[in-house]
Structure 1
């Protein structure tokens, strides 16, 4: 069956709404990149260029922005946020989320998020940049290539050290009540990236990557640890379902023409397993829990987290 048809059949089971029809879990198409020196003025300007492009392309869907609190998105509030970021010092926190959600309690279809590192942390912490699009983007004639163009653009803008892109459960900005649902879905579908607490890994991901998804982003230092670009090209030369792309600071590996969710009772996607087999030596060796404890139900503990990171390992 066509991968997009399979995804279309599975997608309704990955969306949840409250009784008042507020969506609190969506199936999204995400890309998360980690980068150095988010405190530099040059980095801030590059980030603002990303947000400006996102606002211009998807502005008709965007309703709010979050930093310390939810605010309605207007031309004036957008401009004010850009100026506020440019004025921050090298050890000031800036956090910005552009979102299609009406409130902090609604899962967004479209969003762009950033959180910076501080100069005082030196090379011991990373900044991150994350884009979220609806999975139905892939059903559009040029949707897959537009998503890829965005991923490559973000990597180039911040000279990404590493990252990943693919399918993920999208939760509200106020996500704490719904992490047990994210846990349950991730247990059923190995292709889902668990990415709600993306901010938790900024320190762990200094010398390691999080792992493999549809797209796996490797900065030059990680490419060299795998033997270089030629070695990677050779490793995947026999696979027609794996493609290697270049960006300004490294390589991006795509596992298949379209992302796959997989299923708990099936073999994991073969292309994901093939990429994982080559890059798993770069993975966090002893990852911290993917989620915090929740009073609303079970979440990822130490054992579940360890198993999730190994989900594409050959048994």
Structure 2
């Protein structure tokens, strides 16, 4: 049976008492799971434990029906068949690109000829076969990271771990590297740690949100990013998060004109009177002149900020992103009062 045919996925239960981490995670045999959360939420602890860089206090890690760690024992990192792609490529400067990529299969016991063949195949798979004879010092950041991905693939890993693999790259290099990453995660269990929602949408089949060392949310990227149930997931996806008290129709904001205003939600299941949070995308908000009538809340503009080709309207309560043309037509300035309306179907409410 080939290594690819034997893959059954990754099952990890990572317990570290000193870091207050207790995370259970399962990844299907051809699934990429994005692990997201604030700094200190436990992402790196989970990745390091799976990779064999950190011992467990409890739980276990299994891959391809092999026990990698658990019950006070574990395989060393080099025997786990884990392919790790980190923020920086860390290529051996004294070796050629081909020799760098061949290092893994050679260390695993394959002949020099077999290792070089595996390295050339991996380089071709991520689109950098022409770099084989180059020295690492002559590569751009994006090229070096694609070589690092090829190095991980050349060893035919049972599991791929991606630790913020594009965070050190400029915007222009990220798309080429993401294409290489799609090759890396295809057909094998993969865990992606990232702070980039675009990367989640491009690579992940499922998103797991960590907070204070625990799993607080899990679902498809569309579910988690479009209809989050946690504050971090809402902020991660670029949504505006507000707080208030639940009503039958949505919530009353904690602050606002006249001591707090209503914000409707199409559907939620939080009993009235409970403290809640709500999220919506800032492009969904409708801003009009305040004529004293009409839907929405009358709010004072506190700031106008350029943001990704749009203009962010900030008030004490709500924010909205408008095009430059819409801002010009509105004629609003800092200190003026506008009316902000968010359609109920765009508002997600959860108990806080």
TM-score (norm: length of structure 2): 0.24
Max radius of gyration: which structure?
A: 2
Structure number with greater CO (CA < 8 Å, separation at least 6) is 1
- Structure with the bigger percentage of helix: 1
- Structure with the bigger percentage of strand: 2
TM-score (norm: length of structure 1): 0.26
